[in-house]
Structure 1
Amino acid sequence: MVSQASIPVVINGAAGKMGREVVKAVAQAEDMNLIGAIDRNPALVGKDIGEVAGCGELEIPVLPDLEATLAMAAQEKQLPVMVDFTHPDSVYENVRSAIAYGVRPVIGTTGLSPEQIQELADFADKASTGCLIIPNFSIGMVLLQQAAARASQYFDHVEIIELHHNQKADAPSGTAIQTAQLLEEFGKPYNPPRVNETEKMSGARGTCTENGIRIHSIRLPGLIAHQEVIFGAPGEIYTLRHDTSDRACYMPGVLLAIRKVLQLKTLMYGLDKIL
């Protein structure tokens, strides 16, 4: 039985790989009530999202219209939340629409530019509406980033390798960018040059941040999401690596974000901010 105090949740991108996991997690959470499932796959529109996700009938049809679903969610007695796992091309407008309707966004879609994130933060501030943008919902990744930040105080040379499935639309990953940003908070330059490098093929050395951190992106079938942060110094290499084997590992972080975003009045970036 759904409690009257349950959090109403709309899932955008509900039929995708991450969306289906979120459907199952929200359906099983005692303090949440799935009220809407949005997906633009025409083959799935009208089907029960529970059956699509493999968790049994939920009596929630897959709908293609986000705006109409947000308008419906805004009528709920309890503050509603939208979880978004869609595409970099649409996520900015999705967040603006949710905030405009008073629906709290929890965003797992990566690919937003720093300028877009700042614009959304300003919009959330004006609306006094909580918003969470989280490049990676894994607790293990947060621990890796914390260890990397500590190590960066002792190493001047570091490179990041991120590996994802070949259906990921953006590169580098939001997680790799966030990791580099955390290392750059110390204000130090990395990878001081030892020789004048020449790339015989453009991109061979990956991309480079303002502070000199190299990021390399790999896209292959068979991967889910993986990241290495490799530090080097004379005579030693220190490697931090995080691997995922099942998208279910992200669900504790997603559920935590749904609960926490209701307590916010502004935009926050990163799972570490709410742990």
Structure 2
Amino acid sequence: MATQLQIPVVVNGAAGKMGREVVKAVASAPDMTLLGAVDLSPECQGKDAGEVAGCGPLEVPITQDLEATLAFAAQQRDPAVLVDFTHPKSVYENIRAAIAYGVRPVVGTTGLSPEQIQELAEFADKASMGCALIPNFSIGMVLLQQAAIQASKHYDHVEIIELHHNQKADAPSGTAVKTAELLAEMGKTFNPPLVEETEKMKGARGAEAGEGIRIHSIRLPGLIAHQEVIFGSPGETYILRHDTSDRACYMPGVLLTVRKVLQLKSLVYGLEKLL
């Protein structure tokens, strides 16, 4: 019987909340092998990534050295994948380093600017390297966004509210930005003004996301990740909402993307492009 090929996976941010879930998911996937685990937390250095994640020893120690781990991954017989859940300040360089080493990035970290995404797309194109930037790995969120696109054909007024835990570094969320971009692609301007608005406090009306769409960000302990897209017309509102109660809900999307990125030759932005 032929041996099933194993996808070597490096998890960057392995000791974080999302990183631990990814370690567990990769460890339980029959076609994947956890090759490396990287995290900057001093208290986790040298510890077994599986024990930190709570799934038992995997004999993969956590290290701070991303480049050395990428170099090791590049030496594997089968193409390797980097799953990155780190910080907006470092994710751009992480992706460039992965592509330079020939390791395909799957990125859940948000906060990249449109200019940085364009630069990474050009870098990936030159290397003919698959790269997946996924603002949200939830299948339910993709369905919400598709429903919002359909609703936008019938409503001219819409606003987005995103709610996250208070340890999230960037605002608005990448998911909300992506949702606004999808709506803006419909070729219409939303929320035509009826009065001249005045903000008595700066930011009271949220962030302007283009084509008249506004995003409002909430950060509180007790939340994980939530989003509402609210459409309004005379006499009614239509509300689409997605709630996350456990980070495990993202793992089917993560594993799907790890498998799909091996087939890509360029950068893909958004899980809906892979479904």
Write the distance in 1 (CA, Å) between the matches of 2:146 and 2:167: 28
* 1:79 CA displacement: 0.2
| Structure 1 equivalent of residue 32 of structure 2 | 32
- Cα displacement string for residues 29-84 of structure 1 (whole angstroms, at most 9, x for unaligned residues): 00000010000001100000100000000000000000000000000000000000
Give the letter for the 2:161 counterpart.
I
State how 1:58-73 maps to structure 2 within 5 Å: 58-73=58-73
1:142-177, CA deviations, whole angstroms, 9 ceiling, x for partnerless residues? 000000000001100000000000000000000000
Give the aligned partner of residue 150 of structure 1: 150
Shift, 1:5, TM fit: 1.4
- Which residue number corresponds to residue 271 of structure 1? 271
Structure 2: distance between partners of 1:5 and 1:188: 47
The aligned amino acid for 1:198 is: T
CA distance in 1, matches of 2:13, 2:4: 26
2:255 corresponds to: 255
- Whichever residue aligns with residue 148 of structure 1, its letter is A
SS at match of 1:239: strand
Partner of 2:186: 186
Render the CA deviation track for 1:69-108: whole Å, top value 9, x for unaligned.
0000000000000000000000000000000000000000
Measure, in 2, the Cα distance between the counterparts of 1:121 and 1:198.
Answer: 39
Q: How many residues align?
A: 273
**Distance across 2 between alignment mates of 1:43 and 1:186:** 48
Report the equivalent of 1:109. Answer: 109
- 1:66-81 correspondence to structure 2 within 5 Å: 66-81=66-81
1:43 is aligned to: 43
Letter of the structure 1 residue corresponding to residue 107 of structure 2: I
Paired residues of 2:4 and 2:31 also in contact (CA < 8 A): no
1:205 aligned to 2:205?
yes
Distance (Å, rounded) in 1 between the aligned partners of 2:81 and 2:11 = 8
Residues 123-202 of structure 1: pairs in structure 2 closer than 5 A: 123-202=123-202
Compute the displacement of 1:206 (Å): 0.4
Per the TM alignment, residue 4 of structure 1 is displaced from its structure 2 partner at its CA by 6.0
Q: Distance in 1 between matches of 2:237 and 2:40?
A: 46
TM-fit CA distance, 1:186? 1.2
With the length of structure 2 as denominator, give the TM-score of the two structures.
Answer: 0.99
Mind listing any 5+ residue stretches in structure 2 that lack a counterpart?
A: none
CA distance in 2: counterparts of 1:5 and 1:239, whole angstroms: 44
1:226 aligns with 2:226: yes
| CA deviations over 1:109-166 (Å, ceiling 9, x no partner) | 0000000000000000000000000000000000000000000011000000000000
RMSD: 0.6
Q: Which residue of 2 aligns with 1:216?
A: 216
Letter in 2 for 1:273: K
Partner residue, 2:242: 242
| TM-score, normalisation: structure 1 | 0.99
Deviation string for 1:217-268 (max 9, x for gaps)?
0000000000000000000100000000000000000000000000000000
Displacement of 1:210 in angstroms is: 2.3
The corresponding residue for 1:93 is 93
Report the Cα distance in structure 1 between the residues aligned to 2:199 and 2:116, rounded to whole angstroms: 32
Q: What secondary structure, in the 3-state scheme, does the structure 1 residue paired with 2:5 have? A: coil
SS of residue matched to 2:268: strand
SS at match of 2:43: coil
Report the secondary structure of 1:216's partner residue: strand
Equivalent residue of 1:58, what SS? coil
State the distance in 2 between where 1:270 and 1:210 align: 19
How far apart are the structure 1 equivalents of 2:178 and 2:186?
Answer: 14
Report matched runs for 1:11-26 at 5 Å.
Answer: 11-26=11-26
CA distance in 2, matches of 1:274, 1:172: 24
